[in-house]
């Protein structure tokens, strides 16, 4: 990999400052100009945008992209010069992308799915033909490798988004992403210190409070991380341990293969444990293995860890790890076919509940694991109609939250309830995160944060266990590149965290000198 020797600033594009601290550019890396148009259309006005194409594409593609860029400028996007066409093959592509990133200094990389979907998913054929042009996957994989090399070389965090090709450009990112943007990335350790875990292009970045309650932080610290796809599930159980889950890519001569991996942080600020394989339910054939969905996980009352993925057949695969570290084999839940969108959470009876959106539908199915019989039961008639990309676990209430498909308002549903309860907040998109047990005017309350209009989060609260009493939402005024995270700090105050457009996390804490729920100023971590 080249390290910037003899590099040049691209004609018509100003060089960026990789360490300016300002909002960094978004670089869209695609195979041909036509692939950039839906990515551009899906991006709200904000950070500067540069477009890089590996090939000129078919006749008229560059002209069509030029028209799309002109429209984007009219809508308030800041376009950095003309599209850059790499016109290279093999390893040279990664070298040129690396040089391009050095010139621009991006905070975000946007590209398409590194492992495009295949045909024959429904049939019995053993081989799978990729539906999309293979160049799309090659461009995305080159972008991921070049982004990792760029961050390792410069030390500047970069965050990558991978959007599925062919999705509605008007759909929010959460509904079209191959890998979910992070949520629940702010955790409280047993020593009273908060931790932040965010996956960047080069690996997991961790920030740790210097003392309980802050305001000082140590970090960012780049933890030793394998080549993960750009998504991270963060799970914290009653033991206080922080468990990280992702998809590791292993290159093969005939293609790429993905497997679920996990690592554990046992104490705040201490070294992360080794990344251990959980496996892949379709591991026998790499064509099937590369199609696996993103993992979600939960702990039941006995401390058993349950991990779930969407498999190649579009149903759910799961396996369990007991407290002694022993794993069961993969078990396939042969019910309704589902999308790559699941929420899992502990149930009231000590078991585990799972809600998954049905494939190509707003309807959802519910699975319950009974620890006594060690078996799963499917319920296909639950009152959940969810906007794609909005389902999220609400572990503080043994429930699931989602945006109602007909109105976009947030709702909460507990397994067994005849109907969901509205939480309001119909503007914005994506899931909601929250924490229970927050003290507000002498009441124990659940505080929630949701992505709002143009990425600016809003905060709301209701009495613990009483979402039916109503929720008042207030914007925070701080835009976030990922879903906002919420936790109680070591002093019992509500802390809300965002990831700024400059790639720097920020935190605001509940004020103790006022009535109601108000927050102090935002502080960069």
Confidence of residue 90 (pLDDT cuts 50, 70, 90): confident
The model's pLDDT over 363-380, given as tens digits with 9 standing for 90+, comes to 999 999 988 888 999 999
Q: What is the pLDDT of residues 194-207, one digit of tens each?
A: 999 999 999 999 99
Where does a domain end: 139, 170, 201? Answer: 170
Which residue did the predictor score with more confidence, 14 or 450?
450
Contact 352, 300 (CB under 8 A): yes
Average pLDDT of every residue of the chain: 89
Q: How many domains does the chain have?
A: 2
User: Which of 170, 193, 220 is the last residue before a domain boundary?
Assistant: 170
Per-residue pLDDT tens over the stretch 467-515: 999 898 998 888 898 999 999 999 999 999 999 989 999 999 999 888 8
416 assigned to some structural domain: no
Residue 173 confidence (pLDDT): 80
Yes or no: say if 186 and 495 are a contact pair by the CB < 8 Å rule: yes
Judged against a pLDDT cut of 50, whether residue 6 lies above it is answered with no
Mean pLDDT of 411-425: 95
Quick one: which of 331, 321, 316 has its CA closest to 264?
Answer: 321
User: Is residue 113's pLDDT more than 70?
Assistant: yes
Pairing of strands 399-403, 375-379: unpaired
- Reduce the DSSP state of residue 63 to 3 states and report it: helix
Q: Is the pLDDT of residue 112 over 90?
A: yes
Identify whether 11 is part of a domain: no
- Whether residue 9 has pLDDT greater than 60: no
Give the 3-state secondary structure of residue 137.
helix
pLDDT for the residue 252? 65
Q: How distant, in Å, are the alpha carbons of 295, 445, 475 from that of 448? A: 23, 10, 12
pLDDT band at 270; cut points 50, 70, 90 = very high
Whether residue 215 is contained in a domain is answered as no
Strand 84-85 and strand 49-53: pairing?
parallel
Domain assignment present for residue 342? The answer is no
Statement: residue 15 has pLDDT above 90: no
| Average pLDDT estimate for 293-308 | 96
Q: What is the pTM of this model?
A: 0.93
Burial 12-39 (b: 16+ CB within 10 A, else e): ebeebebeeeebbbbbbbbbbbbbbbbb
Q: What is the pLDDT, as a whole number, of residue 476?
A: 86
Q: Using CA atoms of 170, 173, 177, 179 in order, give the dihedral in degrees to the nearest 10.
A: 180
Residue 127 pLDDT class (50, 70, 90 cuts): low
Q: What is the CATH number of the domain that holds 144?
A: 3.40.50
Residue range(s) defining the domain that contains residue 154: 26-170
Neighbouring residues of 92: CB distance < 8 A, sequence distance ≥ 6: none
Cα–Cα dist 32/214, whole Å: 47
* Model confidence at 266: pLDDT above 50: yes
| Sequence-ordered alpha helix ranges (H) in 28-133 | 33-42, 61-74, 91-104
The residue with greater pLDDT, 453 or 376, is 376
Residues in the chain: 525
Is it the case that residue 131 has pLDDT exceeding 90? no
Last residue in a domain, options 143, 170, 197: 170
522 domain-assigned:
yes
**pLDDT higher than threshold 90 for residue 288:** no
Q: Is residue 108 part of a domain?
A: yes
Do the domain assignments include residue 482?
yes
Establish if 486 belongs to a structural domain: yes
Q: How far is CA 10 from the centre of its chain?
A: 32
């Amino acid at each position: 990999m080249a390290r910037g020797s003899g590099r040049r600033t691209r004609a018509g594009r100003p060089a960026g400052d990789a360490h300016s601290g300002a909002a960094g550019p978004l670089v869209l890396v695609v195979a041909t100009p036509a692939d950039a148009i839906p990515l551009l259309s899906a991006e709200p006005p904000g950070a500067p945008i540069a477009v890089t194409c590996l090939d000129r594409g078919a006749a008229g593609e560059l002209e069509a992209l030029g028209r799309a860029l002109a429209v984007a400028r009219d809508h308030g996007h800041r376009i950095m010069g003309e599209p850059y066409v790499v016109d290279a093959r093999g390893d040279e592509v990664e070298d040129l992308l690396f040089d391009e990133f050095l010139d621009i200094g991006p905070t975000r990389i946007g590209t398409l799915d590194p492992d495009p979907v295949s045909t024959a998913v429904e049939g019995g054929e053993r081989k799978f033909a990729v539906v999309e042009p293979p160049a799309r996957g090659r461009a995305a994989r080159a972008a991921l490798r070049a982004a990792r090399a760029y961050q390792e070389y410069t030390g500047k965090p970069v965050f990558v988004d991978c959007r599925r090709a062919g999705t509605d450009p008007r759909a929010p990112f959460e509904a079209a992403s191959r890998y979910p943007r992070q949520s629940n990335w702010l955790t409280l350790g047993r020593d009273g210190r908060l931790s932040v875990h965010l996956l960047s292009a080069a690996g997991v970045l961790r920030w740790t409070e210097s003392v309980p309650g802050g305001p000082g932080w140590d970090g960012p610290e780049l933890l030793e991380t394998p080549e993960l796809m750009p998504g991270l599930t963060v799970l914290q159980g009653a033991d206080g341990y922080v468990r990280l889950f992702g998809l590791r890519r292993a290159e093969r001569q005939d293609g790429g293969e993905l497997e679920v991996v996990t690592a554990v942080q046992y104490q705040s600020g201490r070294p992360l444990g080794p990344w251990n394989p959980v496996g892949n339910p379709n591991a026998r054939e790499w064509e099937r293995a590369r199609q696996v969905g993103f993992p979600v996980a939960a702990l039941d009352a006995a401390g058993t860890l349950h991990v779930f993925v969407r498999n190649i057949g579009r149903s759910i695969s799961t396996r369990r790890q007991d407290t002694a570290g022993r794993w069961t084999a993969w078990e396939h839940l042969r019910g309704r076919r589902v999308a790559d969108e699941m929420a899992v959470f502990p149930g009231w009876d000590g078991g585990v509940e799972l809600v998954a959106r049905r494939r190509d539908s707003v309807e959802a199915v519910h699975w319950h694991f009974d620890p006594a019989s060690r078996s799963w039961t499917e319920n296909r008639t639950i009152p959940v109609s969810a906007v794609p990309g909005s389902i999220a676990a609400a572990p503080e209430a043994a429930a699931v939250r989602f945006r109602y498909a007909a109105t976009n308002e947030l709702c909460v549903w507990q397994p067994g309830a005849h109907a969901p309860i509205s939480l309001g907040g119909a503007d914005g998109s994506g899931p909601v995160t929250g924490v229970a047990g927050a003290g507000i005017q002498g009441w124990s309350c659940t505080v929630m944060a949701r992505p709002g209009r143009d990425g600016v989060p809003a905060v709301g609260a209701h009495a613990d266990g009483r979402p039916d009493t109503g929720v008042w939402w207030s914007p925070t005024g701080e835009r976030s590149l990922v879903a906002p995270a919420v936790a109680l700090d070591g002093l019992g105050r509500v802390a809300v965290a965002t990831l700024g457009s400059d790639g720097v996390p920020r935190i605001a804490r509940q004020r103790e000198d006022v009535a109601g729920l108000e927050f102090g100023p935002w502080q960069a971590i």
